[in-house]
Structure 1
Amino acid sequence: MKLSFHGADRGVTGSCHLLEAAGKTILVDCGLYQGGRDAVEENAGDFGFAPREIDFVLLTHAHLDHCGRLPLLNKRGFRGEIVTTAATRDLARLVLLDAAHLQEEEARAHARRAERRGETNAPAPLYGLIDALNVFDRFGRAAAYEKRIELAPGVAVTFYDAGHILGSASVLVEAEGKKVLFSGDIGNTGRAILRDPVVPPGVDVAVMESTYGDRDHRELAPTLEEFYQALNESFQRGGNVVIPTFALERAQELLFYIREGVEANKLPESLPVFLDSPMAISATEIFRAHPECYDGETSALLARGRDPFAPPRLHFCREAAESMALNTIRSGAVIMAGAGMCNGGRVRHHLRHNLARPGASVIFVGYAAHGTLARQIIDGARKVSLFGEDIAVRAHICTINGFSAHAGQTELIAWQKAAAPKRTFLVHGEEQAMAALAAHLTGPVDQPELGQGYLL
């Protein structure tokens, strides 16, 4: 049995791990690198293995940094089966079509700029809509939580609820008498909507994420109070609130908590909330279609005929004209738009119209990778470039970290203790976070580099 690492190694994006066992080649995730100029070259580069030799892809969840290179994998020769949960399958379809659309748009923009400069070598998109559509033919069996699937003779897999986003899973592969557990992204316990992570005990090897291995998150109650306070203070200043929002999980979680805030009289009932993200709107509809993933509180709301994701004055903005119309609103609106790291999507237009307004607020509620526009703003940039213009940053900038869908250090330590692996490999984390987490874990702990392989 051999385990090798081909993404998210001493970094937090591009998850991709390869397991060779019982004559089968199994890939766990195939994610996109995000953030910074290097990501373009990393995504277009060689996988480090032959896509045509992959028999199975086990997809832990639908975030782009875990599924975003699947169309490229298929384009380069993969003809095996993708196995994942039903909710992840539905979300991945949405995510990959959106990614392909954005890449085609970006390629056209590059081509226009190259034409104006008299150049002929504009870069092609990594993959297009046809490639994204083609990879859907590779999705096969849908995994139910804690139901063992025989992938092939001598190879079995079981998906366990990871509690990270809808449909997310930790994946246990059993082959050659060994149990190898891939954590995927481990969820933060006690959050809204989803159940807490489930950990199978007594594994031989754990491949474990370490995004927040060096710190814990704030408790939920003070996080919510800070969020409600930031909203109310912004309205008192007379400006809009722009929230760069990840379309999967974060958007639905914020709608859930805004509804709760209105019902608890912590936010005004007249509060207009605009979800300006076709992808987040579709994701919310997918959430409604998969109640099998909900925790007890959210299931009880549904049983009473309540929509968990519907504050009183919620408006969905699917069309571009609806999004553009929001730019005429100068105060009193909550505008939730993608993308969370501000590296694309409609939020960039709203930042263009609100960043320079002293009365406005921008509230960041998620991770911002180095090299992204979100990180520049969070780190105190006085001006940023948007659509070729220098935009002054005069709006009130607020960062609220307690909403993370990732486990913090204490929860990661508890996860590893429950799994009780004989050997642990840390992935999906910055080196500082990995080192801090490794110091608290039991048994041998490795921090593999890109392309490194191990015999198990």
Structure 2
Amino acid sequence: MDVEFLGGAREVGRSAILVDERLLLDYGLEPSTPPQYPVGSVDPDAVVVSHGHLDHAGAVPALLSGDSRPPIHWTPPTRELALTLARDTLKLHGGSYNCPFTEHNVKRVTGVSETHGYREPFEAAGFEITFYNAGHIPGSAHVLVDDGETRLLYTGDFHTDDQRLVAGTTARPDADVVICESTYADVEHEDRTTVEERFAESVKTTLWEGGTVVVPAFAIGRTQEMLMICEAHDVPCYVDGMGKQVTEMLRQYPGFLRDEAAFRRAKSHARFVTGDDGQRKRITDQKAAIVTTSGMLSGGPAMTYIPEIRANPTNKITMTGYQVAGTPGRDLVETGSAEIDGRMMPVSARVEQYDFSAHADSNGLRSLLDSYRDAQILVNHGDTCERFAEQLRADGYDATAPDIGEQVIVEG
């Protein structure tokens, strides 16, 4: 089995892995300026998408240009999320040279889409494929690829601990080779219950003092997790941005949620922002938490809320996710200022950061890999892939960290 890394190797973003030149696992983009896409040109016989985040599914419609019509295999929520992301990318970049697909390509996606549940084997490009719940976001999957001689497990992004939105992964299918993500290979997450309680107490204190809290959150997964946390701790909240649409959509797929009743309560508890910037400015006086995109302050309704609340030190901005270097969110955390709509703005509101990650930490990664001590481990999707592979080798694993464009021959 020949495995070629077209993206996501020794980096986070633009994940794409080609197996035997005919099966493509993920096809994402890195939302930098300009966006970065997988290397090389591909014309696969079939595509399998692990989950609906931009860095794994964001460039999929580009595979349907020209005469190409490869079937695209994914879970039902991943299909919906990928289409949502594609339409949003067109809205943001559709008129620019940097967008690799058109509205016509996006429409083609529905015609070649094939959805599958967990643990239901199917055929793609001559391989037997099976999805397993990866515990990352609704619909996220580990992908098992079997050619009859070699069993390759592509973990995609995964979490081993339960979140309110989804249960952690417990799947450990037999595999000869594991392509393992390593986003948080050098981090130990704080206990989730402790983080939740600290977040809720901080928000309630600010509201009691008469302030407003802006909660920047990724639209897919993180927004819904924060709404469930707000409901569980009785924190009044609004929701704005693409997260509204995703929240509505996920109601259609209760089987991919950990607790459908809790999800429904959270949706009912939150107030959905339906108006324009005028309404948003009025909401900033409501003494509530405002859960809104973008999670790194690089666009979305956060661009309206932050300028409105930034000057008052009673107010608060609670960052809920990883902040990539060079983003306004990272600048805000490190310097107390951020570039909003082209202007560098000092922020007097208090800024806090919470680890609500949906990725396994170093302990979670090790707990999964402990089931694969005799397998070949290929480390990807991280900023410290080489170091993690080296640590695994020191512990007796056959582990390497392939580079972008590298081909690796694997055997059963």
TM class by shorter chain equals over 0.9
C-alpha distance in 2, partners of 1:230/1:77? 55
C-alpha distance in 1, partners of 2:326/2:195? 26
| Residue 387 (structure 2) aligns with | 435
Cα displacement (A) at 1:318? 3.6
1:276/1:337 contact within 8 Å kept: yes
1:274/1:315 contact within 8 Å kept: yes
2:177/2:376 contact within 8 Å kept: yes
| Residue 3 (structure 1) aligns with | 3
1:409/1:437 contact within 8 Å kept: no
Cα displacement (A) at 1:11? 0.9
| Residue 12 (structure 2) aligns with | 12
1:13/1:33 contact within 8 Å kept: yes
The amino acid across from 2:376 in the alignment is: R
The amino acid across from 2:64 in the alignment is: N
| Residue 94 (structure 1) aligns with | 84
Aligned: 1:136 with 2:110: yes
Cα displacement (A) at 1:229? 1.6
2:45/2:125 contact within 8 Å kept: no
C-alpha distance in 2, partners of 1:28/1:77? 20
* Helix, strand or coil at the partner of 2:371: helix
C-alpha distance in 1, partners of 2:67/2:302? 35
C-alpha distance in 2, partners of 1:188/1:247? 21
Change (3 A) 1:47 1:393: same
| Residue 115 (structure 1) aligns with | none
Gaps of 5+ in 2: none
The amino acid across from 1:422 in the alignment is: A
1:424/1:443 contact within 8 Å kept: yes
C-alpha distance in 2, partners of 1:420/1:174? 19
Aligned: 1:145 with 2:118: yes
| Residue 41 (structure 2) aligns with | 49
After TM superposition, the structure 1 stretch with the greater mean CA deviation from structure 2, 124-133 or 334-343, is: 124-133
The amino acid across from 1:246 in the alignment is: F
1:148/1:156 contact within 8 Å kept: yes
C-alpha distance in 2, partners of 1:90/1:308? 22
* Aligned partner of 1:309 among 244, 263, 266: 266
| Residue 290 (structure 1) aligns with | 253
Aligned: 1:413 with 2:403: no
| Residue 219 (structure 2) aligns with | 247
| Residue 352 (structure 1) aligns with | 307
What's the CA shift string for 1:108-151, capped at 9, x where partnerless?
Answer: xxxxxxxxxxxxxxx46443433322333331x21110111122
C-alpha distance in 2, partners of 1:27/1:351? 40
| Residue 396 (structure 1) aligns with | 350
C-alpha distance in 1, partners of 2:312/2:67? 50
C-alpha distance in 2, partners of 1:372/1:159? 34
What's the CA shift string for 1:166-199, capped at 9, x where partnerless?
Answer: 0000000001400001000012412213222133
What's the CA shift string for 1:83-130, capped at 9, x where partnerless?
Answer: 01112112211121112212137x4xxxxxxxxxxxxxxx46443433
What's the CA shift string for 1:234-289, capped at 9, x where partnerless?
Answer: 22342211111111111111111111111xxxx4xxx3x11111x21121122211
The amino acid across from 2:115 in the alignment is: A
C-alpha distance in 2, partners of 1:387/1:359? 23
The amino acid across from 1:225 in the alignment is: E
C-alpha distance in 1, partners of 2:159/2:196? 18
2:386/2:400 contact within 8 Å kept: no
Q: In the comparison of the two structures, how many residue pairs are matched? A: 407
C-alpha distance in 2, partners of 1:238/1:245? 22
| Residue 366 (structure 1) aligns with | 321
After TM superposition, the structure 1 stretch with the greater mean CA deviation from structure 2, 167-176 or 419-428, is: 419-428
- Normalising by structure 1, report the TM-score: 0.84
2:273/2:280 contact within 8 Å kept: no
The amino acid across from 2:365 in the alignment is: L
C-alpha distance in 2, partners of 1:129/1:232? 44
1:383/1:390 contact within 8 Å kept: yes
The amino acid across from 1:414 in the alignment is: S
Q: In the TM superposition, what are the counterparts of 1:153-168 in structure 2 within 5 Å?
A: 153=126, 155-168=127-140
Q: CA RMSD for the aligned pairs?
A: 2.1
Change (3 A) 1:209 1:340: same
C-alpha distance in 1, partners of 2:105/2:374? 38
What's the CA shift string for 1:179-235, capped at 9, x where partnerless?
Answer: 001000012412213222133333111011000001111101210111112202222
Q: Among the aligned pairs, what percent are the same residue?
A: 26
The amino acid across from 2:88 in the alignment is: D
